[in-house]
């Protein structure tokens, strides 16, 4: 803080965007308020450097954080330490009171190091000035803190932006997880705002979907019913138990195939369309032929697909060999000797 020189110190592994923003959030929490102006270093993590000396722009994420806290960022000029002399001066004091004091200690985690830093920081801020009365803590508490703007209701949450294309199944894939958007946006490119807790989808700057962030194993689905086309919504009334009961009424082999399809995917709902298509084959080919086709498919593999059953029925592979042989014999006898006398007179 400029007037009191009240300081906040925290150690990080790097100075990337997540560490930079997290440091600011923790700093505001430590101070218990927000100053109207924030003078930052002119580093790449904070400033976009392609606009020339007189057109310095704060990057989008840093700007979003400043908007959240209601502060204005005025970056210091490059290699101009006098733009923030109190901060530069405090670095020297901190180097002696904290960095040097801990130089011979060994820490096994960043949290352990920061716990030790916090103890030394408290001592540093409470230390009495040499040339004036009081300490940094007293000066900040009595004269500076009352002038700070209050903290917002919730701390700023770092957001990451990505682009994604809406797939044919009206979902987008983000970090291996799938999130639904209204089906009208299939094949469209959308902007995705990602935080640790939420995921928001934007099209032309308008929010079209919002989900809780999924964590854990890859391939999980977050689907909102209203995003589904009407003909897809009808599948919601179906479940694995209902498909198995329907298949069991047709025959044991059909049941085995449906059960194999239902367990072939991590998310059972992904298999419902295949199960429905398979069981509907009975309407076209009869339940007896479907059961026979499933029996034949199971003789090849323990996990037949809908497509393999459909192919068996289409080329009549489900019919028994004896029935086919009898049919061929009848067909030949009805036409007599077809090779002709010339064949046998050679």
Q: What is the DSSP string of 27-63?
A: HHHHHTSB-SEE-----TTTEE-SS-TT--EE-HHHH
DSSP 8-state assignment for residue 149:
B
Helix (H/G/I), strand (E/B), else coil: 58:
strand
Check residue 344 and give its pLDDT: 54
Stated pTM of the model: 0.57
Would the pLDDT of 314 be above 50? yes
Of the given ranges (51-60, 202-211, 289-298, 323-332), which has the lowest mean pLDDT?
323-332
With 0-12 CB in 10 A as exposed, 13-18 as middle and 19+ as buried, what is 28? buried
Once rounded to an integer, what is the mean pLDDT over residues 304-317?
90
Domain ranges in the chain are 17-147, 160-232, 238-328
Would the pLDDT of 296 be above 50? yes
Q: Could you give phi then psi for residue 16, rounded to 5 degrees?
A: -75, 175
Percent of the chain with pLDDT over 90: 57
pLDDT winner (highest mean) among 48-52, 58-62, 319-323: 58-62
Rounded Cα distance, 26 and 292, in Å: 68
pLDDT winner (highest mean) among 129-133, 147-151, 231-235: 147-151
Check residue 97 and give its pLDDT: 87
Percent of the chain with pLDDT over 70: 88
> pLDDT band at 161, cuts 50/70/90?
confident
User: In the chain, which residue ranges form alpha helices assigned H by DSSP?
Assistant: 17-31, 60-69, 85-94, 110-126, 136-139, 230-233, 240-250, 252-262, 272-285, 287-300, 306-314, 321-333, 341-344
Would the pLDDT of 339 be above 70? no
Of the given ranges (54-68, 105-119, 159-173, 240-254), which has the lowest mean pLDDT?
54-68
Once rounded to an integer, what is the mean pLDDT over residues 55-81?
85
Would the pLDDT of 336 be above 70? no
Would the pLDDT of 269 be above 80? no
Per CATH, which fold does 17-147 belong to? Nucleotidyltransferase; domain 5 (3.30.420)
The mean of the pLDDT values for the chain is: 86
pLDDT 10s digits, 140-154: 999 999 999 999 999
Check residue 325 and give its pLDDT: 39
Rounded Cα distance, 156 and 197, in Å: 12
Check residue 329 and give its pLDDT: 41
Check residue 51 and give its pLDDT: 56
Rounded Cα distance, 152 and 157, in Å: 12
Would the pLDDT of 83 be above 70? yes
Check residue 158 and give its pLDDT: 86
> pLDDT band at 8, cuts 50/70/90?
very high
């Amino acid at each position: 803080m400029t007037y009191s020189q009240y300081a906040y110190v925290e150690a990080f592994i790097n100075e990337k965007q997540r560490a930079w923003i997290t440091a600011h959030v923790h700093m505001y929490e430590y101070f218990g308020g927000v100053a109207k102006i924030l003078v930052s270093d002119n580093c790449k993590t904070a400033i976009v450097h392609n606009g020339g000396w007189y057109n310095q722009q704060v990057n989008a994420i840093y700007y979003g954080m400043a908007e959240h806290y209601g502060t204005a960022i005025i970056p210091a000029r490059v290699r101009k330490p006098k733009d923030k002399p109190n901060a530069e001066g405090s670095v020297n004091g901190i180097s002696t009171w904290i960095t040097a004091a801990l130089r011979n200690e060994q820490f096994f985690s960043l949290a352990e190091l920061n716990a030790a830093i916090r103890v030394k920081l408290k001592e540093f801020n409470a230390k009495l000035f040499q040339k004036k009365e009081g300490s940094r803590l007293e000066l900040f508490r009595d004269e500076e803190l009352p002038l700070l703007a209050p903290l917002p209701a919730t701390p700023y949450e770092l957001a990451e932006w990505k682009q994604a294309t809406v797939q044919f199944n009206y979902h987008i894939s983000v970090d291996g997880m799938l999130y639904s958007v209204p089906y009208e946006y299939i094949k469209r490119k959308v902007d995705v705002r990602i935080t640790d807790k939420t995921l928001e989808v934007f099209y032309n700057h308008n929010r079209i979907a919002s989900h809780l962030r999924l964590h854990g194993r890859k391939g999980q689905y977050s689907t909102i019913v209203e995003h589904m086309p009407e003909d897809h919504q009808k599948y919601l009334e179906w479940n694995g138990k209902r498909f198995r009961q329907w298949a069991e009424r047709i025959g044991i082999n059909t049941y085995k195939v449906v059960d194999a399809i239902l367990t072939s995917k991590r998310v059972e709902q992904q298999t419902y369309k295949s199960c429905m298509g398979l069981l509907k084959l009975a309407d076209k080919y009869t339940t007896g032929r479907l059961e026979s086709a499933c029996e034949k498919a199971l003789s090849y593999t323990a996990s037949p697909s809908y497509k393999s059953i459909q192919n068996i029925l289409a080329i009549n592979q489900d019919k028994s060999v004896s029935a086919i042989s009898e049919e061929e014999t009848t067909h030949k006898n009805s036409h007599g000797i077809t090779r002709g006398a010339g064949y046998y007179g050679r």
